[in-house]
Structure 1
Amino acid sequence: MRRRHLAALFSAAMLSAVTARAQPQAAGTIRMVVPFPPGGASDVIGRIVAEQMRDRLGMPVVVDNRAGASGNIGADIVAKARPDGLTLLLASASTHGINPTLMARMPFDSRRDFTPVSLVVMVPTILVVTASLPVRNVDELIAHARANPGKLNYGSVGNGTTQHLAGVMLRERTGVDMVHVPYRGQNLLVPELTTGQIHLVFNNIAAVRAGIEAGQLRALAVALPERWPTLPNVPTFAEAGLQDFQVSSWLALLGPAGMAAGTAESYAAAVRAAVADRDVRARLIQAGGLPIGSAPAETESFIHNEIRSWGRVVRAAGVRVE
């Protein structure tokens, strides 16, 4: 189900559709809460979206980084905000896919406490290995891991993240025995990977692009229905022999529950108009996001499906955060 849904979204994203002009429904300054630190892919993409919404709605849009608790701190701020259209959340697969099952106690209900607006981008997961590891494709990686049980380690930015769960899924699909090493952010994880202190990672493209270009990292596969536009030589996981290995993240705009339907529709129209623009699409792809743009009803359906899909993965992994 998740693979079919992602494939449909990917196909839609490849089309540049003409969208209706967005008509602002609120007056004032929009506060876009990004529940992750400045400088990462989420922050960069959020700032591009904020700029485009400002230009297309004729309203100021400011980004407010509120990191912590795998995105829950920022998400909770929006869940408890007034539904006047002036507070939005740049939600992710963490806040509205993984955390509802991963976290023993959630400060909000991921379905009930938000108004869906638009899926902005998919943030594809790419499997990369340090260049010193003697493997050049997924089959060789699996064979090497099986021949060296417990000797390969893979990094992530924390327990229960998409990066961690991708490694769990690989272990369950192939039986490989690898050690998970969690880090407290990309600024620690990526240098350890490029210098060979850890062997592999499932990460977003923006975080590892420089290492790939410098020859310090080797890309083996990307978790999308089709190849990434700027990495045409990197196969998808399906092409590499792992069918339905869909572990990519995403970013979506949500408002608090009770936000007017007309406001959500106008904001979604602004996002769709932005991602249909060639220059904006190029900037989002450079930042590691595949532009999507969806209506509120489509966004709601997508998020509900993500909660179910990631819930199965989290339960199978036996991961729980108290």
Structure 2
Amino acid sequence: MVVGLMFSSVTERFFMELNTRRIDTSVARSETLSIINGMRYLKLGVKTEGGLNASASFVAKANPLNRTPHKRKSELYHALCNMLSSILAPLAESGKGHWPPLGVESALALWYEAVARIRGQLMHWMEKQNKHITVGFPLVTLLLCLGDPQAFNTNFGPHMELLYKNLKDKNHRSMALDCLHRVVKFYLNVYADFQPKNQVWDYLYSVTAQLLTVLKKGLLTQDVQHDKLVEFCATLAESNLDFTMNHMILELLKPDSLSEAKVIGLRALLAIVMSPSNQQFSLEVFHVHGIGHYVPKVKSAIESIIRSCNKAYSQALLTSPKSTIEYAIY
């Protein structure tokens, strides 16, 4: 009860402070953005009906498009989108068995209604201007995940197609990778166990094929994007190691893959082997999971990479000036 009162007092004060700064001046705008930024750490209560009702009410009022400032609208809208994304993210990342919360069915209806309304408005908002996609799509992804299960299953495929489209845009590529990782992880944690195995594999194959394609085309050039792919592989492996090895790791380690892909594959393989959930940190982990047939394939791929590196660097040394070779040695 005390926690609920604290939550209500904080959120009511937040909206009151925003309302008192409706007059658009540079000082008021700066203060508004600071207040919004400070609310990113608000924790929503969803385990009781009262807590979920209060959270749903807050989310509905925090709809980024509810406010219409006279100037620099996008600045305020983007700040509110980022705020709401930060607040909702912990709910989507809570792991298996934590969403949707149990025993709060009547409050869930209000919650689903609120997130669906905001998601629809944001989709229309992003369609009007591309500049909103970078901040709008992460929030739309979270709202889809935390919305009505039927709405999620209906819109999961179309949502993925939009993310694939954004993967091809250099301005949206990193955002699309983040959203793909989040929505796939949520799907695996919440829905995959209740769907036919072949349907799950179809979804996962669609995602991995898209990621491998953009990687082969040389579109993922940033280190942070490579980091995201490593994390994605680790997430897939936690749910389905067999699929991950067959459709991601071995594909990345192929002899004709780009050097970046091979590095990503090796890093992902290391992350999988060194996962805290493993009892031993070696390729024996594949035998433990009953997929030991991947061990010789992995060893062969690694040996091929070592031979390629040895050949490339040996040739480089043979064709380098004497001074360069001496510097490399000493």
TM over 0.5: no
Higher helix share: 2
Relative contact order, CA 8 A, sep 6+: which one is greater?
1
Higher strand share: 1
Q: TM-score, normalised by structure 2?
A: 0.23
Q: TM-score, normalised by structure 1?
A: 0.23
Rg comparison, structure with higher value:
2
